[in-house]
Structure 1
Amino acid sequence: MLIPIRPLLATLAVLTGLLALPGAARAAQSYDACEGRFIESLPVVIGTQGVWCMRKDLTTAITTGAAITIATNNVTIDCNDFKLGGLAAGSATMTSGILAEDRLNATVRNCNIRGFYAGVSIEASSRTHSAGHVVQDNRFASNTRYGIFLEGDGSVVERNKVIDTGGSTSVPGAAVGISVTYDGDVLGNLVSNLAAVPNGSGAASANGIQVLYSSGTIAGNRVRGLAVQGSGTAVGILTYDDTSTARPSVHDNDLVGPGTTPSAGVYCYSAKHLAHDNTIGGFITALTTCTDGGNFVGP
């Protein structure tokens, strides 16, 4: 049931669109922290530390690379609820909305990100090269493979809405709402409506949330609308660690499955992974391998 998380880098093998908010100036957010640092066009590379803000909707049709690249440490991207759009690139896009590679302390907040291969992609060449990231209070819609892809210890993914994910024709076969690698917490997010294009074997899988090599906490999330085809599988929350050292805790999540096909509410790689106080319904198997600390399992 493990979906490959980095097909282009050949590493571990294992969101129709919403109506965008109007592009006219909107009240709500403050620009005080920006200190003149504004993102005015795409694509852009951010090479100076600090808070960088959007003050209008921005779109791009590029099919590779990133709309916004974070090229230094200690950068915050605050979209102030404006749209960062890549829908014009189509279903074959390989573009990330916001990309950071081997960086520390990247923050992405208040963004409306849609139409990219990955809405946010924070990548690490090794565990020691990426840490301290925060992805919070964003809306991800109609991204074709991942809503959020994050690798980095001490990171937090919280209060995001990840909807209508899937449809990649460049890398078909799976859709993932949120993917976090290394010790990070995934808290209070909504993941809804994942539907991938089938691969060459006719299979399309969906993972709501997947965490890898993590002793973090996955709590208070809502996952539903996992569509599968052929021999594809549906997993509400997946935890993976082939080193047998991670001890993640999965609790107080509300998971709704497709009701048919191979599916698991919480799929754990190891019995060292604890699941408790989750509400799970509509999956063929509520828990797989996890240590059951007490969960409500419905039909």
Structure 2
Amino acid sequence: MKFALALAVLTAVGYSRDASAEINNCINITSVPATITTQGVYCLKQHVTTNLASGNAINVMVNNVTIDCNEFKLGNLASGSATQAIGIRAEGRNNLTVRNCGVRGFRTGVMLTNGQYRVEDSRFDFNTQTGLHVTGDGSAIRRNEIIETGESTVAGVTEFHGILAAGDMDIIDNNITGVVATSGGTRHAYGIRTTGMDSGVLRNNRVRNLVSTGLLGNRRGIWNQDGGHNTIEGNTVIMSGDLLIGDAGIRCGGGLILSGISRNNTILGTGVLNSALALINCTSVSGDYVNPL
């Protein structure tokens, strides 16, 4: 009984501690779906839960918006693994910030595309395909926790991401734990995946517990799919077991050489025979450490 009570208290603290950032001077979102059409500061002053099979819980249709959840939860767990809903959505917006949010149980926790965004100090857990998806030059993803992502049962889903990003941006000090592909076919698990990144910075991120499925399924810790001139510094990627063909610890970019510099990264658990796959297309400047165990 004491353990259950302690667990309940810890859970409550995890989503509602220090709920003061914007709790007084903001427009409270009390229920979802909600559409934001006026610029300003929006917030949660309580947990908000829903059961969306599709659509967006919060849809931002205007620039110059801050959403501060004050450590409260936007939850959709009741929808199950077949949900196609998105927690917070925006397309083509500028000066949009999402912070201090707990977003869980959506196909994608937050999807902000083709604009300029900040996502910071938030937690994304038990989302079924992608924790956080951001595209747009000049954006920033920083100090977030992305936990236990994956196992969507939507037909045709083959790729699962902690963070999915595109454009020249900063991805700094994020913790990705547990990206698990749905069993039953060839499916891939990415900690952080970027496309079209040229002159990006990925610094001090942690990636662990990636699970792919099928003989050709891949695990990729930090995968810069294309682009170059990136700075990859101080990240930690922990793989479990040998890296197979297609797996990777860190890939700096799309070119054969000089796609980006790597400095002070740690890649563990690559396997004795496959340690060369720990760093791909990287110019190692100093301090990178690869351990096969």
State if a TM-score over 0.5 links the two structures.
Answer: yes
Alignment of 1:1-299 (within 5 A): 21-22=11-12, 28-30=18-20, 35-124=25-114, 130-131=115-116, 133-170=117-154, 171-198=156-183, 202-214=185-197, 215-230=199-214, 231-241=216-226, 246-262=228-244, 263-267=247-251, 268-270=253-255, 271=257, 272-283=259-270, 284=274, 285-294=277-286, 295-299=288-292
Alignment gaps of 5+ in structure 2: 1-6
The alpha-carbon deviation at position 29 of structure 1 amounts to 2.6
Q: Is the 8 A contact 2:60 2:90 kept in 1?
A: yes
Q: Number of paired residues?
A: 270
Q: Greater helix percent: which structure? A: 2
Deviation digits for residues 182-210 of structure 1 (CA, Å, limit 9, x no counterpart) = 011000010011101146xx212111011
Quick one: which amino acid aligns to residue 22 of structure 1? A
Deviation digits for residues 162-194 of structure 1 (CA, Å, limit 9, x no counterpart) = 010001111432210011110110000100111
Taking structure 1 as the reference length, what is the TM-score of the superposition? 0.85
Q: Is the 8 A contact 1:34 1:52 kept in 2?
A: no
Alignment gaps of 5+ in structure 1: 1-17, 125-129
Quick one: which amino acid aligns to residue 172 of structure 1? V
Q: Is the 8 A contact 1:172 1:198 kept in 2?
A: no
Q: Is the 8 A contact 2:66 2:96 kept in 1?
A: yes
Deviation digits for residues 260-295 of structure 1 (CA, Å, limit 9, x no counterpart) = 352211123222222221011112421122222231
Supply the distance in 2 between the matched residues of 1:48 and 1:186 (Cα, whole angstroms).
28
Supply the distance in 1 between the matched residues of 2:44 and 2:167 (Cα, whole angstroms).
30
The answer to which structure, 1 or 2, has the higher relative contact order (CA under 8 A, 6+ apart) is: 1
Larger radius of gyration: 2
Quick one: which amino acid aligns to residue 298 of structure 1? N
Supply the distance in 1 between the matched residues of 2:104 and 2:72 (Cα, whole angstroms).
11
Taking structure 2 as the reference length, what is the TM-score of the superposition? 0.86
TM superposition outliers: structure 1 runs of 4+ over 6 Å: none
CA 118–186 in structure 1, closer or farther in 2 if over 3 Å, else same: same
The alpha-carbon deviation at position 35 of structure 1 amounts to 3.2
Partner of 1:22: helix, strand, or coil? helix
CA 26–225 in structure 1, closer or farther in 2 if over 3 Å, else same: closer
